[in-house]
Structure 1
Amino acid sequence: MAVPRRIPVRFEDVFPHGAYVLGVEAANDFDKVRAGVADPQQRDKETGARVWTVRVLDPDPAARQAEMKVKILGETAPLVPDAMPGMPFRPVLFDGLSVLPYVDTNSSKPRQAFSLRAVSMRPVGPARRTNPGVAA
């Protein structure tokens, strides 16, 4: 059995309490930044597509960290959904979510870490009835 480098996961498994977008920014390639390249945006190694970082708030009380980053590939930045009336945050869903495990060696003690990538981001739609034939 071949284990893929990126492991597909369900949105509900990663964000059981939902996810709220805080912002979208271009992911910088720090080697390009140091070299003074005019376009320092990170590119995907396999496809060459631009990499965008979506900052996400995870409201799960059991989460190890409240803010996470999800990377999305594309020539243009993913659109941040409109604010929902009465809510300070913008709830989103990520399609095609995958996890890439790695060893973080940036601290004095190496640790297991992971990065998240999604194919796309979309706003949370209105609630749908599971049985449309039954009156609410």
Structure 2
Amino acid sequence: MALRPGARIPVPTDVVFPHGVFAAGVAPVMSFTDGKSTGMQELDAHTSQPVWAVSVIDADPELPAKLKSFVVKVSAPYQPVLPDPQIPGLPFVPVLFEGLTVTPYVDNASKRLAYSYRATGVGPVITVGAPQARSGRVTAPAAE
């Protein structure tokens, strides 16, 4: 079966971001018609849910600086809430994306292959061996 234009290919977060990914903020994606804002939030064409833009930074040390920062669009009925920072005061939070998909496309400006990332949710990074609290937040393992 061939992939159709606009196909959303499911991928695990750790495959797309093997060095991790950090979120910096969440904002609604506004809808545009003929290049003009409609003043309304964009709705996902597949789910009809509002679309939110999660600004992220890829932690891959080999990526050029201009490719490290981009947006993952999250389709959800309510604005996603980023996990608490693991280091107080740090503006970037390590995250995992739920239902992450990638859609390859050709960028009209550069005529190069590009990727669009979408997800159904965003959550905290769970450290292996760390017990998980009832709230879903990760707690540090007990000292030996």
Question: TM-score, structure 2 length as denominator?
Answer: 0.76
* TM superposition shift of 1:87: 6.9
Equivalent pair of 2:99/2:119 in contact (CA under 8 Å)? yes
What do the CA deviations read for 1:43-84 (whole angstroms, capped 9, x no partner)? 111221100110011111122411121111112111011111
Cα 1:44–1:86 shift into 2, 3 Å:
closer
Structure 2: state its 5+ residue gaps. 131-143
Q: Secondary structure at the match of 2:84?
A: coil
Aligned residues: 126
Q: Secondary structure at the match of 1:12?
A: helix
Structure 1: state its 5+ residue gaps. 130-135
Residue equivalent to 1:103: 106
Counterpart check, 1:116 vs 2:110:
no
Residue equivalent to 1:125: 126
CA RMSD of superposed structures (Å): 2.2
Residue equivalent to 1:3: 3
Distance 2:43 2:104 in 1: 19
Cα 1:33–1:71 shift into 2, 3 Å:
same
Q: Percent identity?
A: 38
Question: TM-score, structure 1 length as denominator?
Answer: 0.80
Residue equivalent to 2:83: 81
Cα 1:12–1:50 shift into 2, 3 Å:
same
